[in-house]
Amino acid sequence: MSTLAHIFEAAGMATIALGSVKDQIKNAAPPRGLWCDFPLGRPLGIPQNAEFQHRVLAEAFSLLDSKQTVFKEYDIAIRDEGTEVMACALPPRHDPKAHPAVDEANGLRPAYERALAKYGNRIGAGRTIPSEQISEAIESFIRVAEGTPWKEAGVPGIPARVSQDIRGYYETAALALSDHAPEAWAGTRWFLDHTEAGKVVLSARQAMADAGEKQPIWFYMVPGDR
């Protein structure tokens, strides 16, 4: 984006770049850059806080007053300390014949639909697979976890991307089940540590690693620090 900013500026268009990683935005050196020490994925800071977000935008637009390359740090930092546990009750078992993860995902469908109606499809499924295929995707990862090579298990796409859609489905549903906007990574921690589908994704990832699959295929099925 910083490279594009230079191209747009050369064509006479003023640009502003917001960055969440300080070294990245400094090294890329856009014509006007504002570093906001916020969690990744939250470039304007606090969710559902229009006043705070408007302050960030006002600071960014103030950079347009400069005709020279400028880099500025926003004066408020927001950090995810990694301590919040998301309070999110999972639905009870409905179909005892289904795998727990599949039954769980099906049970979350009403919450997912409520969250879509309220927030829109911002982090939900749909990048690789639609929400209607979440259960099938989980079933394919169950087969991978049990030892089936991923290319033979019916995984509907690159595993890392499919797993992101599963996680997005769960985190979207969690928004309808939680009474507040959680810390940036609280939803991910909840998914991986407290849901049956999270356990399946982690197990499938480990099975692929043990089978010697190329790292990019399995590594980014979950955040790199897991």
Write down the pLDDT at residue 149: 95
Write down the pLDDT at residue 201: 97
The predicted model gives 49-60 an average pLDDT of 93
**Tens-place pLDDT, residues 149-181:** 999 999 999 999 999 999 999 988 988 887 666
15: left (phi over 0), alpha (psi -120 to 50) or beta: beta
Helix (H) or strand (E) holding 206: helix 196-210
With respect to residue 182, please indicate whether it lies within any of the assigned structural domains. yes
181 shares a domain with 107:
yes
53 shares a domain with 6:
yes
Domain that holds residue 14: 2-73
The predicted model gives 5-9 an average pLDDT of 81
Write down the pLDDT at residue 105: 97
Mean of all residue pLDDT scores within the chain: 88
Q: Cite the DSSP H helix spans in 63-158.
A: 100-107, 109-119, 134-145
Q: What percent of the chain has pLDDT over 70?
A: 93
179 shares a domain with 105:
yes
135 shares a domain with 201:
yes
Write down the pLDDT at residue 121: 66
Whether pTM > 0.85 for this model: the answer is no
pLDDT category, 46, cuts 50, 70, 90?
A: confident
Q: How many domains does the chain have?
A: 2
The predicted model gives 81-86 an average pLDDT of 66
With respect to residue 81, please indicate whether it lies within any of the assigned structural domains. no
Q: Residue 87 above 80 pLDDT? A: no
104 shares a domain with 61:
no
With respect to residue 94, please indicate whether it lies within any of the assigned structural domains. no
With respect to residue 159, please indicate whether it lies within any of the assigned structural domains. yes
Write down the pLDDT at residue 83: 65
47 shares a domain with 143:
no
105 shares a domain with 208:
yes
197 shares a domain with 124:
yes
Write down the pLDDT at residue 43: 86
Q: Domain boundary residue among 32, 54, 73?
A: 73
172 shares a domain with 113:
yes
The predicted model gives 119-148 an average pLDDT of 89
The predicted model gives 134-153 an average pLDDT of 97
107 shares a domain with 63:
no
112 shares a domain with 6:
no
With respect to residue 208, please indicate whether it lies within any of the assigned structural domains. yes
pLDDT category, 111, cuts 50, 70, 90?
A: very high
The predicted model gives 54-73 an average pLDDT of 90
With respect to residue 60, please indicate whether it lies within any of the assigned structural domains. yes
67 shares a domain with 112:
no
Q: Are 121 and 168 in contact (CB under 8 A)?
A: no
